[in-house]
Structure 1
Amino acid sequence: MSTVGKLRTYFSIRELIQFVSELSRFHRIQGTKELIEASNYIRDTASDAGFDVVIHEFSYSSMPPYLPDITGWWVRDGAVELVKPFRKVLSSFTNASTTVVAHSPPGEFEGKVLYISDESKVPDSVDGIVLTHDTSFDMYVKVVRAGAQAIMYFRTEGDPSGIPYLGLFPSRRDLPNMKIPAVAISRSDAQEIIRCIEEGEEVVVKGFVKSGYTDEPPPARVIEVKIGDGYREVHVVAHYCHPAGTVNDNVSGSAGLLEAVLALDRAIRDGVIKLSSLGHPISAVWVPEYYGSFPLVLKKLNEGIEIAGAINLDMIGEKQSLTNSTLQLVRAPIKLLSNLEALAYYNLVSAIPSVPSFSSPSRLPKVRFAVVNYEVGSDHDAYITLGRPALMINQWPDKYYHSNLDRIDKFSPELASSISLAAISTAVEYSILDKSNRTHLKGLAEKYVRFVSGLDLLNVYHDTRLVRAREEIYNKLNSDGKGGATCSYRPAIVLKRHGLVITRSVRAYASTDTYLKFKLMLRRHRWLRTALNLLILNAYLHRKVPLKDAKLDLIGELGCDISDNVLDTL
């Protein structure tokens, strides 16, 4: 029987649903006390099961330089109501925790609504409340300086009735600008308000936010449960932050990982899985997104602990018939292709629900499933930017993403359990095989390389330049699936500091012209964030990279061309 099959016997879907329900009660915003309370729940559940839980705490005030510091914050209530031309409650914290924008200042407001689409259109003076879909921090600051009473946000994508989850997340130096309340409403209500304004009607809203800032935020707390001994760890990671009531992002991953670890422990206690057979320890890790994973990886590496690889569980519980999402195995960059990724693909395909085909012995997945080239956006980035193989299992797109409608009714316990079992089984099998049967592991990886390289080359077959670029990356892969040889040419790109490029950080250290150009580029092409991480990884692995080689590597990884002008800005 497969490892997935063995562990499925010990995996309780009833417990999984209980964990999802209880974890989602906490308003898990970074920099708040409730995020600590959520971590206590994970800690206590693991401790009660008999695990020795390791707590890592990192200060939001002294993060790595590429992660802006975050202030402490609390919120108790908030609401916004339409007063004219008719009365209607637009949103309330009681019914939707996303009503109050994360880290909004407190305050009361009542006045005329002015619709301003983006920061370039903010007038010098504003009398009233601004309605906008520009969610940038720059927009907030401009509206504050223009004298508005409050700002109401809506989102142009997703379900029109959803109230979006948005955040300001000011650093300490931003606090002088935090002067007006920020709330969120649905796109359908925003469009109705805009229509009234365009027809010449006066629109008036009133509302309030009860919140505040603290002198020092609670720590960014990481919970770790380690199974086995040694200094070469395999990580399975999930972030446990985000608003109360929201489930798929990412209570689904956190709860799934928690139940998977309990199932593994039960199997070990029954002798179904031999603890002595593990060649490396398996670390289950729950983190605040980025603010837990990046410091943790740095801490581990500084302590001399080797990380063999990581599997990131993010948004794994989608009920696809409602969310319109696709289950994705988001690969590591090609140059970090690994045995762990090969095992993860095999176990994921084996674990997800399937049905017999029409007239062959094959089986077909009951869910939409795709293998996707590397893209940024979650905690696998913390490992990849430091040259450690990491993949993400998630579901995308989700029409209810980052909104109050990401509720438990959109959650599939069956799919979440299959994905969680696939992830923990991959970690177990990698740990065992890397100790006892590396030949088998290598053979599996070689077959996987042929599979994904074939897909990668077919996907760019229309462009011989892209084909050559991808072939070059695959030709440099070592037999164990790690990146190619160190570059010895004269450098054009040199890594001076590892990390991640975040727009807020660029605003802090780049010139105004560069920052604005960079922000406009990202607004037009979100995938350029992935391009940046690939450049950072390439420089991290090789230290010195000629610009010509960096560009060839980049278009090979991305599978699309990139202009010299864009590359220069990046």
Structure 2
Amino acid sequence: MKANWIVLAGTLVLASACSVLMGQEKEDRTLLSQQQMTAIINEVSGERAMHHVQELVPYQFVRPTSEYQSHFREAEAMARMAKEYGFSNVAIEDYPTGQTWQPTVGELWTSSPKNSKIYDIHDIPESLASTNANGDISGDLVSVGQGAAADFAGKDVKGKFVLSLAPSGLAAIYGRAAAAGAIGVVGISAIGAGDRAVDYPNAVVWTTVVAQPNTAAWAVSPKVARELETMLNRGQKVTMRSITKSEQVPNKQEIVHAEIPGDGSTTQEVAIGGHLFESYIKQGANDDSSGCALTLEIGRAYLKLIAEGKLPRPKRTINFQWVQEISGTNAWFNAHPDKQKVIIGDLNFDMEALRLSQSRSFWILQRTPDTFPSYINDIAQSPMEYIAEVSRERVRYRATGYGASQPVESPNGSTDAFYIKVDKHYGSSDHVTYMQHGIPAVMFITWPDMWYHSSQDTPDKQDPTQYKRAAAVGTASLMALASGTDEMAARILSENIGRGLARMGESHTKGLGYMADATDAASLTDGYKEARIAVLHQAEVEKGVVTSASVLWTNADSGKQKTSAFLPLIDQRATELLSEVKAAYQLQALQRGVPAAEPVMTAQEKEAANLMVEGVARPGGLGGPGGGGGGGQRGAAPTGPQLPQEMNAEFAILLGKHKTALEIRDFLSGEFTPLPLADLMAVLHARETAGTVKLTVKAETPAKTGKAGKRASK
């Protein structure tokens, strides 16, 4: 009886566990089977990824000039490990780009009030901002406060060093100081300000300054800057001494490339990677040796699971790219123009595996911008949410015991929660470069990063558990992207359709909020207009997402036929949501005792609807699909009126889309929050005056129905 009872009890427990797993199978689904996800979770190793990053940047160092004559240590390490793991076609590619400077000696001292070495670049490589500086120079220190032009007024800085605590960056302050005859600048950087300066006062943030002969620029920590300022405030004479030596060396783009080959059934390929370099002076365990270490582990695990028969061999060849950020990706595409034609998607990993609780961070998926709607976002979001769900304790499953249903943790890692966030597009990494080549791409990134671009971006801040979780997400995403089967194409399309409905619901909720927040009849009518714009905008984005998925079918024409069938259904969704928006408008009007009049176009809107906007090409171009950095284009910032910073990257792209001013305004309002038309027109007219935008009145055409008619009748 006792033995039989034990058997029966065990059977009941097993049945209960299976019941829970069956429930989770429905809820915690991804594009892969649960069996495949479990195989991935079991194989990916946070420890191996940590080992990779420790091979790449065990500590920050002054690069010997000999590396410029051969290969950099990081490139050789990546290539060696990729070969050992069984990657194919592993190669280090070099593309010469002229000459650059590499510091070999750098010391910053105070000669008075006491003789003390503050920094040596062999201790803190980031401290020397002017990497082209040469000389042994000394001078008294003068504080210029925030370093603005007014702060220099009345101060004799000729032949002296200036101290600035401005978080606006050293380059501008150095320019003012050098123009006034100063021989050196000592200051902090913007990224080292704010909470980071309080929590990590000893961090020195990497920055670069092109110095004139016999001058130098030094980046110091907030603590050192305050100590120097305190001495000056006490009336002490502070004398600085800078000893620097830099050598000119041959510059290059160095790229490590490796592959997991497809089965030969398709010419399509995919890409994954991170930037191995971000300037050769600055090194960072998190930014971005971590992305390279992680994607190397993703490839290793994928190859092993294929060999064991736990995952199918991909049909699409996978390109692993470990590059100099942005410029290296461009160099590779320039050298391999055929790749732009065959790569259909890219997964970019930039800054991974920080200890999230220690850095107060989230692991974030940055989606493609609305100007580049794509199927690829949902490929990445699906396993990301799965790993987050199975990694947390869910009280509704506690009948079988407390804890996560499928813990994703490493032996030497933390048990931190897996804080994730799916966010809007932000640029400033290699995913933008892929989009500028017409290839959809997403970025995974950890933010905030308390040690970003600083002397404290070292491996001890990283967490094998977060590496393991990110590797599980990356491997699952990569398998779905590289699969190449019609079955997976249909699954991805279904994911796009389902998640697209949720995104349309979010735009609907946003629009309803505009009306709920109205304070009078005029703002209620404006809220109604903005609600319609939000819904219509998202509907167009979702149609773009579905259309983009056609490339996933083995027969592209068949894919177009299959995806196009859903476009009118999305329009139907939008029509239904607009009906709800109208009903909510009428309810809000009734509650306020005002008429629910249908809005009409204002004179300003009519004028904007008739004004074509074209960007004028200039050095650096207008961006292209996917835009530039998160804050707009690289290079000199435009002067005059500005849009909200989060809109600038999309605005730069829209300038090349042959749209009217009103269409640009509605697009930005739909993607973000309502943008006053007057604000946009002020920016457009200012840029027209500057010669970067051309505004032309449309030729009159007969009235027509359709999208424009919808906008006019609101």
Short-chain TM bin? 0.7 to 0.9
Aligned to 1:130: 162
Q: What are the equivalent positions in structure 2 for 1:59-458 lying under 5 Å apart? A: 59-60=96-97, 71-86=99-114, 88-101=116-129, 103-116=131-144, 117-121=146-150, 122=152, 125-132=157-164, 133=166, 134-135=168-169, 137-155=171-189, 156-157=193-194, 158-159=196-197, 160-168=200-208, 177=212, 179-214=214-249, 216-228=250-262, 229=264, 230-242=266-278, 246-275=284-313, 278-297=314-333, 305-352=341-388, 354-359=391-396, 366-432=417-483, 434-458=485-509
C-alpha distance 7-22 of structure 1, shift in aligned 2 (>3 A)? same
State the secondary structure of the residue aligned to 2:103. strand
- CA apart distance, 1:23: 0.5
- CA apart distance, 1:414: 1.2
Aligned to 1:475: 539
CA contact (8 A) 1:249 1:314 kept: yes
- CA apart distance, 1:404: 1.2
C-alpha distance 300-532 of structure 1, shift in aligned 2 (>3 A)? farther
CA contact (8 A) 1:39 1:223 kept: no
> What are the superposed Cα offsets for residues 4-34 of structure 1, whole Å, 9 maximum, x if unpaired?
43233333433322211121146598x9839
C-alpha distance 304-534 of structure 1, shift in aligned 2 (>3 A)? same
C-alpha distance 263-344 of structure 1, shift in aligned 2 (>3 A)? same
C-alpha distance 161-300 of structure 1, shift in aligned 2 (>3 A)? same
TM-score (norm 2): 0.67
CA contact (8 A) 2:613 2:655 kept: no
Give the distance between the partners of 2:512 and 2:97, measured in 1 at CA. Answer: 46
CA contact (8 A) 2:97 2:253 kept: yes
Structure with max Cα Rg: 2
Give the distance between the partners of 1:36 and 1:152, measured in 2 at CA. Answer: 30
Give the distance between the partners of 1:517 and 1:224, measured in 2 at CA. Answer: 43
C-alpha distance 125-97 of structure 1, shift in aligned 2 (>3 A)? closer
C-alpha distance 417-178 of structure 1, shift in aligned 2 (>3 A)? farther
- CA apart distance, 1:265: 1.3
CA contact (8 A) 2:633 2:652 kept: no
Give the distance between the partners of 1:57 and 1:505, measured in 2 at CA. Answer: 24
Give the distance between the partners of 1:105 and 1:162, measured in 2 at CA. Answer: 24
Give the distance between the partners of 2:307 and 2:161, measured in 1 at CA. Answer: 60
CA contact (8 A) 1:282 1:428 kept: no
Unaligned stretches of 5+ residues in structure 2? 1-33, 406-415, 515-526, 549-566, 568-608, 688-714
- CA apart distance, 1:394: 0.8
State the secondary structure of the residue aligned to 2:483. helix
Aligned to 1:41: 77
C-alpha distance 294-219 of structure 1, shift in aligned 2 (>3 A)? closer
CA contact (8 A) 1:387 1:537 kept: no
Give the distance between the partners of 1:23 and 1:492, measured in 2 at CA. Answer: 47
- CA apart distance, 1:41: 1.7
Aligned length: 535
C-alpha distance 428-102 of structure 1, shift in aligned 2 (>3 A)? farther
C-alpha distance 501-355 of structure 1, shift in aligned 2 (>3 A)? closer
C-alpha distance 35-150 of structure 1, shift in aligned 2 (>3 A)? farther
Q: Aligned AA for 2:673?
A: G
Aligned to 1:512: none
> What are the superposed Cα offsets for residues 33-71 of structure 1, whole Å, 9 maximum, x if unpaired?
39833222212221233321144444445xxxxxxxxx4
C-alpha distance 4-87 of structure 1, shift in aligned 2 (>3 A)? farther
Aligned to 1:65: none
- CA apart distance, 1:466: 4.8
Give the distance between the partners of 2:109 and 2:39, measured in 1 at CA. Answer: 54
**Correspondence for 1:553 among 667, 670, 682:** 667
C-alpha distance 300-538 of structure 1, shift in aligned 2 (>3 A)? farther
Q: Quick check: 153-162 or 285-294, which moved more?
A: 153-162
- CA apart distance, 1:101: 2.0
- CA apart distance, 1:559: 3.0
State the secondary structure of the residue aligned to 1:254. helix
C-alpha distance 21-349 of structure 1, shift in aligned 2 (>3 A)? same
State the secondary structure of the residue aligned to 1:421. helix
Q: Aligned AA for 1:345?
A: Q
Q: Which structure: greater helix fraction?
A: 2
CA contact (8 A) 1:28 1:244 kept: no
Q: What are the equivalent positions in structure 2 for 1:505-520 lying under 5 Å apart? A: 506-507=635-636, 517=639
> What are the superposed Cα offsets for residues 264-323 of structure 1, whole Å, 9 maximum, x if unpaired?
111222222222xx2322222111111112343465556552332222111111102221
C-alpha distance 326-93 of structure 1, shift in aligned 2 (>3 A)? same
- CA apart distance, 1:238: 0.5
State the secondary structure of the residue aligned to 1:492. strand
CA contact (8 A) 2:205 2:220 kept: no
Give the distance between the partners of 1:169 and 1:292, measured in 2 at CA. Answer: 22
> What are the superposed Cα offsets for residues 129-161 of structure 1, whole Å, 9 maximum, x if unpaired?
122234253433332333222222213232442
Give the distance between the partners of 2:55 and 2:136, measured in 1 at CA. Answer: 32
Give the distance between the partners of 2:436 and 2:684, measured in 1 at CA. Answer: 18
CA contact (8 A) 1:100 1:184 kept: yes
C-alpha distance 245-382 of structure 1, shift in aligned 2 (>3 A)? closer
> What are the superposed Cα offsets for residues 205-251 of structure 1, whole Å, 9 maximum, x if unpaired?
2232232333x413343534343254322221201124666311111
CA contact (8 A) 1:154 1:163 kept: no
- CA apart distance, 1:178: 5.7
Q: Quick check: 84-93 or 303-312, which moved more?
A: 84-93
> What are the superposed Cα offsets for residues 306-361 of structure 1, whole Å, 9 maximum, x if unpaired?
33222211111110222111211111113433332112111112224722223457
Q: What are the equivalent positions in structure 2 for 1:486-565 lying under 5 Å apart? A: 491-494=612-615, 496=617, 497-499=621-623, 506-507=635-636, 517=639, 528=645, 531-539=647-655, 542=657, 544-559=658-673, 561=675, 563-564=679-680, 565=682
Give the distance between the partners of 2:638 and 2:501, measured in 1 at CA. Answer: 42
Q: Aligned AA for 1:259?
A: E
